[in-house]
Structure 1
Amino acid sequence: MTFRSVSILCFFLVGLFGFSQSRFVIENKHRSCNIKFKLINNLVVIPVEVNGVELSFLLDTGVSKPIIFNFLNVSDTLNIKETETIFLRGLGASKMVEALKSKNNIFKIGEAIKLNQDLYAVFNANLDLSPRLGIPIHGIIGFDLFRDLVVQINYSTQRLKLTEPEAYKMKDCRKCETFNLEFYNGKPYINVKVEIDAKEIPIKLLIDSGGSDALWLFENEDLGIHSSDKYFYDFLGYGLNGSVYGKRSKVDKFFLKSFELKKANVAYPDSSSVIFAKQIRNRNGSLSGNILKRFDVVFNYQKARLTLKKNKYFRLPFNYNKSGIELAHDGVRLVKEEKGKVLNPKESYQNNTRIIIDTRYKIALKPAYGIVELRENSPAEQCGLQKGDIVISVNGKQTHQFSLQEIMQMFHDEAGKKMRLRVERNGRTLNFSFELADFLD
């Protein structure tokens, strides 16, 4: 499962603030703090305290203002106030999404705190990201944090460091590359190069840490930006306004100055899904988590600089889902589990009847994983699997023993690997098998 871009293409005005605290400040003498984060599908998930309530947010350079999802579940405890109804537009072809704008909220991230943060609470329950990522996700945060603080992301150690700009000192780094950033509507853009059909093409990309893919490119024949002959049509992800579909392929090379990435994954979203994204002058696509995670990253918005240094993930191959299956949490299942070694079963007598209770097993509630997307003509579809099937086991291993991400990673294995799935469908248990297939090499 790869959760892709949730970048919000809304246009927000950054106004003047009053005398109250109008920026994130760090409450210690070092003016810097470290935060442990979770790396899920190339996405950075950080703990954020909103009005005293501990939540989990995606750290997303592609969003202008914090957005709260699952609003109906957390509204009572967040004490949201000073609200007005607005409508947001994002990726996807659906209509605009209703949201509640709230002012003067208290945000705390590690030891960084802001006392008058605006946020946008989305009503649409279909935008719950938690089932897709396998962990609770309550919202996304971006520009306001990056604008106020220098943000260092160490993907390999899963550590985030926040520093007040006046206290930040850039270390000499001969193995680093530094880029100038351009900003449009509070979002960072970078000028880089891509090689397609042996031709190097200059491109401008949104830096989108809220997307788990490597690259998204907008097809443009005049510039030579197009998919190769080897591609397949696929579900690409969810935006605020619905599902996004398009082509999946690879580019020959992708260049970040001296850093060269070969055979990088690329997606070409349908033009109807990104019509508003294309309105940014000269934008050619997005650079996302599957590339960012290969570096130690420093975002310095105050100086409009991005600094990259290769980390242990740099040489990892660009794999992709070769099954055609997208899974998500789909409620819970009753599962019979072995307790471990039990010496004697419990015995009792009732009405002269001997009753033996076998204490070797217990019944527990475990997460259920359902098929929510199934690629047309994929190996999984061709063998008879269907959307809505609940996957019970993969290659003889019970799915409840694994996280959602661990199961999805099995579908990224080498082409030719045989997969055996047992599923529940309408009260029946069915068995299917197929081989992972590589359509791009």
Structure 2
Amino acid sequence: MLLCPSLNVAQPARRWYARGLVCLVLVLSALAGPAQSLPFRFTNERLHRLKRPFVLQRNLIVLTASLNGKGPYNFLLDTGVGISLITDPSLRDELKLRVGQRFRVAGAGSEAALEAFHTDSVRVELPGVVGPNIPFLVLSEDVLNLSNYVGTTIHGILGYDLFRSFVVTVRPAEASLIFSDPAHYRKPLSQRWAHLPLELEGSKTYITTPVSLSDSLTLPLKLILDTGAGHALSIETTSDPRLVLPPQRLRTQLGRGLNGFINGYLGRVAAIQLGRYRLKTLLTSFPDADNVALRAGVPRNGNIGFELLKRFDMVINYDKNYLLLRPNALFREPFEHDMCGFELLATGPDYRRYVIVQVQPGSPAALAGLRSDDELVFINMAPSNSLTLTQVSRVFHSADGRQIMLVVRRADGELYIAKIQLKRQI
């Protein structure tokens, strides 16, 4: 995404919210500005530690917060954004937001640029935590359609300001966060925790770690730490001539950017080393070169997302510049792609209507006669509206060769029965 104010050009930025994942990269260091005081604090000044639950939806952390005393609103928690975002434009009038500097926002895709504006002095409250004066960038249109991809209403994204205020411990298997006062935080002594240095450049954090592209080639790659990316790993082949596409790969639509869809390939790398822990046969996105041409000014090779990170309990410490990782109950889950071959969007007032928006040619879904605009009615005799989008997605990622029976409603109202055999395509 490229932000172009009336006089200056801010740092370019991108993130992908990929097909079943959502991915958008935002680097807005120019707006975030230097840290003078911590933007968030505990509402009880005697507290040094606070534990809060979150909801994990399609590999994304969803938190509830109130803004200017109204809400609750749902926000993604994302280390990949330099300034927090309001993606639902209806909040502008509802919260009586002050309109500041305006931007034209352009990015990957062919659609027209949209307008956004900067606003400040927004009071953000999470249970037990308050940010009295938080700046936001407000989009004029909800072009990311995060609610449809996540399957629940999403109003925006919280990022850098929250992470620089606290040491944040993320426990994905139990869906909980712990906010700790940096001045009182003590690093755990257990040897099970792997320690990785964090590089904080602008308002984004990076790790540099060995990635085995194949059995014969291992390179140290600089990767954005990106809790707001639903994929496991993304590699930009334009960042180093030694980074090439894997021989076995799947051409696919990786996701939606601010101005259109982002295309590329899915493949696998042999392994990634994270401290003492090694993860093998990692599903990896390789976006097309023209989708990453407008990269952030800080050189990097890609990003590491929550499909990988969720396998660890994490301690993210911006104050001391380190990341701690400890395997959790999700550690041994395989890295799998959708084995059906269609893309779903959640619609309806409760996001429990699931409509096919794209069918991959030659996929099990295509061979079973499924089409765009088909609406799922039953999945293996269970009403589809009894399942969350996350649960539906798990069915189609479940096992190579598994038989699935679907009942879909066609655009003309006719019901159609499809028998699908899942197939691992990559």
Superposed pair shares fold, TM > 0.5: yes
Equivalent AA in structure 1 for residue 41 of structure 2: V
Q: Does 1:25 align with 2:11?
A: no
The alignment's TM-score, normalised by the length of structure 2, stands at 0.89
Task: Specify the alignment match of 1:55 in structure 2.
Answer: 73
2:391 counterpart of 1:406: yes
Aligned to 1:249: 267
Give the conservation status (yes or no) of the 8 Å contact 1:34–1:110.
Answer: no
Letter in 2 for 1:438: R
**Identity rate of aligned residues, in percent?**
28
Q: Is the 8 A contact 1:230 1:439 kept in 2?
A: no
Tell me, yes or no, if structure 1 residue 430 matches structure 2 residue 412: no
- Unmatched 5+ stretches in structure 2: 1-18
Pairing 1:145–2:162 present = yes
In 2, Cα distance between equivalents of 1:388 and 1:138: 26
Q: Could you tell me which residue of structure 2 aligns to residue 166 of structure 1?
A: 183
Residue from 121, 137, 142 that aligns with 1:104: 121
Q: 1:95 to 1:259 in 2, by over 3 A?
A: farther
* Mapped contact 1:47–1:109 kept (Cα < 8 A): yes
Gaps of 5+ in 1: 333-364
Alpha-carbon shift at residue 208 of structure 1 (Å): 1.0
Which residue of 2 is the match for residue 287 of structure 1? 304
CA distance in 2, matches of 1:118, 1:125: 19
| TM-aligned CA distance change 1:435 to 1:204, over 3 Å | same
Partner Cα separation in structure 1 for residue 351 and residue 174 of structure 2: 30
Contact residue 150 and residue 163 of structure 1 kept, 8 A: yes
SS in 1 for 2:301: strand
Contact 1:134–1:329 (Cα < 8 Å) also in 2: yes
| Cα distance in structure 2, aligned partners of 1:248 and 1:408 | 18
Asked if the contact 1:196–1:224 (Cα under 8 Å) also holds between the matched residues in 2, the reply is: no
| TM-score, normalising length: structure 1 | 0.86
Counterparts of 2:139 and 2:176 in 1: how far apart (Å)? 29
Q: Check whether the contact 1:61–1:142 (CA below 8 A) recurs between aligned residues.
A: yes
Which of 231, 256, 262 aligns to 1:238? It is: 256
User: Is 1:271 matched with 2:257?
Assistant: no
Tell me if the contact between 2:22 and 2:146 (Cα under 8 Å) persists in the aligned partners.
no
Distance in 1 (alpha carbons) for counterparts of 2:34 and 2:295: 27
**Does the residue aligned with 1:420 lie in a helix, a strand or coil?**
strand
Structure 1 residues 34 and 2, CA, compared in 2 at 3 Å: closer, same or farther? same
Q: Retained in 2: the 8 A contact 1:22–1:115?
A: no
Q: Could you tell me how far 1:386 is from its partner in structure 2?
A: 1.4
Deviations 1:313-340 (A, max 9, x none): 11111122111112112326xxxxxxxx
Inter-partner Cα distance in structure 2 for 1:184 and 1:241? 26
Separation (CA, whole Å) in 1 of partners of 2:30 and 2:425: 41
CA distance in 2, matches of 1:367, 1:15: 40
Compute the displacement of 1:153 (Å): 0.7
Alignment equivalent of 2:325, drawn from 284, 292, 308? 308
| Root-mean-square deviation (Å) | 2.2
Q: Relative to 1, partners in 2 of residues 1:410 and 1:14: Cα closer, same or farther, differing over 3 Å?
A: closer
Q: Secondary structure at the match of 1:290?
A: helix
In the TM superposition, residue 414 of structure 1 has moved relative to its aligned partner by: 1.4
Q: Answer yes or no: is the 8 Å Cα contact 2:254–2:263 preserved in 1.
A: yes
Residues 258 and 112 from structure 1, CA distance in 2 versus in 1: closer, same or farther, beyond 3 angstroms? same
Alpha carbons of 1:172 and 1:93: their partners in 2 closer, same or farther (altered >3 Å)? farther
The 1-side partners of 2:259 and 2:202 are apart by 19
Kindly state the Cα deviation for residue 265 of structure 1 after the two structures are TM-superposed. 0.8
Deviation at 1:216, TM superposition (A): 0.4
Alignment match, 1:7? 25
User: What are the Cα deviations for residues 257-316 of structure 1, in whole angstroms up to 9, with x where unaligned?
Assistant: 2110011111101112122226432x1111000111011111111111111111111111
Pair member with larger Rg: 1
- Separation in 2, partners of 1:148, 1:366: 33
Residues 31-430 of structure 1 mapped to structure 2, 5 A cutoff: 31-53=48-70, 54-72=72-90, 74-89=91-106, 94=111, 96-198=113-215, 199-219=217-237, 223-277=241-295, 279-281=297-299, 283-331=300-348, 367-425=352-410, 426-430=412-416
> 1:100: how far off?
2.0
Classify 1:313/1:170 alpha carbon distance in 2 versus 1 (closer, same or farther; 3 Å). Answer: same
Change (3 A) 1:88 1:167: farther
Classify the secondary structure of the residue corresponding to 2:30: coil
Q: Tell me which amino acid in the other structure corresponds to 1:319.
A: E
For 2:324 and 2:109, how far apart are their aligned partners in 1? 31
Deviation at 1:17, TM superposition (A): 7.9
The Cα of 1:14 is off from its aligned counterpart by 3.7
CA contact (8 A) 1:56 1:138 kept: yes
Residue deviations 1:344-372 (CA, integer Å, cap 9, x gap)? xxxxxxxxxxxxxxxxxxxxx99321012
